[in-house]
Amino acid sequence: MPAPEFQHTVGKTASFSGTALHTGDKVTLKLQPAPVDHGIKFKRKDLQDEPTIDAKIENLKTVERATTIGEGSVRVHTVEHILSALSAMGVDNAIVEMDANEPPIGDGSAQPYVDLIKKAGVTAQDEPRKFFDVREPMHVEAKTGALLVLLPDDKFRISCTQAGPNNQFTQFLSMEVTPAVFEREIAPARTFVYYEDVTPLMEKNLIKGGSLENAIVVRGDAVLSKEPLRFGDEFVRHKILDIIGDLALVGRPIRGHVVAAKPGHAANAELARSIAREQTRRSSMAAPRTIPTGDGGLDTDEVMQILPHRYPFLMVDRIINFEGDNKITGVKSVTINEPFFQGHFPGHPVMPGVMQVEAMAQVASILLYKLTKTSSRVGYFMSADGVKFRKPVFPGDTIFIHAELTRARGNRMAKTKCYCVVNDAVVSEGELMFTFLDK
Ligand SMILES: [Zn+2]
């Protein structure tokens, strides 16, 4: 097992100043250390009472051109580049203090923020990092044609396809996002804009700080910028930069593979929202449930009087419910100590599907035992039909194993419909057949 990763903050306060993109005003940003589980918060030093805003997706206000977050009437604009740098460089906890409503735009890339983070230093704290582990594919699609798919992976990876109008400047890049890769390959990539999109904004004076110093302007086939392109595929790199920044609003690092086609702030934010929703669902599911004991069910001892199975092959901890004569529910808490996790798979523990079938068979046998009401015969698992594994089961999951008797022929054979449920979702199912034999 890899050593646990710890949360990190910055070692000391560091600051830098520059121009705000939208107002054109001068702004000073101070990056400050914060305690564990604090997350990233923006602080408006220029306002009365110096309000703070959590960099969380629930505070997202608008995604036009840039990502804006806010609480109450307080806003912070264009947070995606600094969030991208903090997230990719492994800073979990920090205060971003500013004396204006947006960070200095710098050169339109995340380079100034990486420099700032390195100036402040990154230090480990004494609490483990909390990740969002992708368990099953998720996806979002936007009217703009943006498509984002998130797949399980034990690393944070992004594979991105960027395409301009008429598929001009189509670029593809795939990478694992680590601090070193981010600093070298992604941080220097600058914002790019289309001439037709920015002219109306310039006319309305909405981007007073905007210039060729902090953006690449694409006009037709021409690429206008103060300095030459930093990478042949600088555009897709900046798209990846923005994805990292917008997904940072999830509030915890992601272990998963983002596959993005024509991404934009709106679609990125939508994916962040889905992830946050899934995270909330999981934490509420993790809350302890009341599992009844007593009359309704059987405790471990009673289960072991019926089943001959023993560690490590006893796959049911307790029977929590009998419904009539033909339904039963058992429960099994899956822990990392299950011996099968050592080899299935090293570094990525998933409960083998056959063990779930075994759990169904054991719970069903208990139902059959109750049915025959005789201790001289025992149901033997004979065959399984229509077995489906729908979702992976991980250490820490509690499996509710349901079995229903669908057919019984005298004292010779029985058919049961079984399914396993984790977090209110069916993870596996199948039809199990039993034959009765003398003990
Ligand atoms: Zn950007």
pLDDT digits (tens, 9 = 90+) for 260-279: 999 999 999 999 999 999 98
Place of tokens 């024509």: 262
Which residues make Cβ contacts (< 8 Å) with residue 96, sequence separation at least 6?
Answer: 29, 30, 31, 32, 40, 41, 42, 43, 55, 82, 86, 103
How many A from CA of 246 to the centre of ligand 1? 9
* Prediction pTM value: 0.71
How many A from CA of 72 to the centre of ligand 1? 25
Give me the active site residues, please.
Answer: 265, 344
* Whole-number pLDDT of residue 302: 86
- DSSP assignment letter at 288: P
* Whole-number pLDDT of residue 144: 84
- DSSP assignment letter at 294: S
* Whole-number pLDDT of residue 287: 45
Place of tokens 């139902």: 367
Q: Are 232 and 216 in contact (CB under 8 A)?
A: no
Using one digit for the tens of pLDDT, what is the confidence trace for 188-239? Answer: 999 999 888 888 888 887 788 888 888 899 998 888 988 899 999 999 999 9
Spell out, as residue ranges, where the chain has pLDDT lower than 50: 1-2, 286-289
Q: Are 157 and 176 in contact (CB under 8 A)?
A: yes
* Interior/surface letters 360-397, b for 16+ CB within 10 angstroms, e for the rest: bbbbbbbbbbbbeeeeebbbebeeeeebebebbbbeeb
Instruction: Specify the DSSP element, H or E, that contains 303.
Output: helix 300-306
Q: For 37, phi and psi rounded to 5 degrees?
A: 60, 15
CA–CA dist 256, 420 (Å, integer): 25
How many A from CA of 207 to the centre of ligand 1? 14
Strand ranges of the sheet holding 68-71, from the earlier edge strand across to the other edge: 60-62, 68-71, 74-76
Place of tokens 């029985």: 414
How many A from CA of 71 to the centre of ligand 1? 22
How many A from CA of 80 to the centre of ligand 1? 7
Instruction: Specify the DSSP element, H or E, that contains 318.
Output: strand 318-323
How many A from CA of 212 to the centre of ligand 1? 15
The protein residues having their C-beta less than 5 angstroms from ligand 1 (an ion) are: 191, 242
Place of tokens 């923006």: 42
Tokens of 49: 């009472």
* Whole-number pLDDT of residue 293: 54
How many A from CA of 81 to the centre of ligand 1? 6
